[in-house]
Structure 1
Amino acid sequence: MHFVLLVLLPCISSLQFTNPCEKSSQTKDALDFTKFIDHLNYSVNYKVDPCEDFYQFSCGNWIANTNVTLMNWEAISTISKMSRLYEQEQRS
């Protein structure tokens, strides 16, 4: 019996069990990172010196790439109305 354990122990210890979720988690993290980088590149204007004009640096590309006339401003005003109603509800 001891002999069997001595023979099997190195074999069992050499097996590697991988977590199937580990790879998908790494893939999701990589996708999230890629989305973040895409968002930065869409928004940030790297041609502008942030010490000279930080607003243009941080938002310059977003301003150039976004057509504000096509934005759904109604959704923003709806959220604002809901926020005001919630605040009034909390005060009373």
Structure 2
Amino acid sequence: MGCITGLVGVEIDEAKEQTLAAAAKAIAHPARVRILRILTRQQGCLNSDLVGELGLAQSTVSEHLRILKAAGFVTAESQPPRTCFTVNRQKLEEFRALLGYL
């Protein structure tokens, strides 16, 4: 009884599945979720601001930001000697839309 023998009417889109999985992996850490929440409520944020807010080491926050940036969830604007991070709202909306695929 527990086996699915046919997926009648279930759309299979491997590209969407892979995109959704990659995006989910990028935010699959509580600190990265918190970073996104902070950035969605602000116009921009410096790494040092996030370090204070999260209570994590600078290197740890930098690694989380690197992962989010690589996935397209955040953008970085260099303002030497600092970098200002902002959330990519379009990417968040795309992720929300992909969740509807489930």
Q: Calculate the TM-score normalised by the size of structure 2.
A: 0.25
Q: Calculate the TM-score normalised by the size of structure 1.
A: 0.26
**Greater strand fraction, Structure 1 or Structure 2:** 2
Larger of the two Rg values belongs to structure: 1
**Greater helix fraction, Structure 1 or Structure 2:** 1
Q: Relative contact order: is structure 1 or structure 2 higher (C-alpha 8 Å, sep ≥ 6)? A: 2
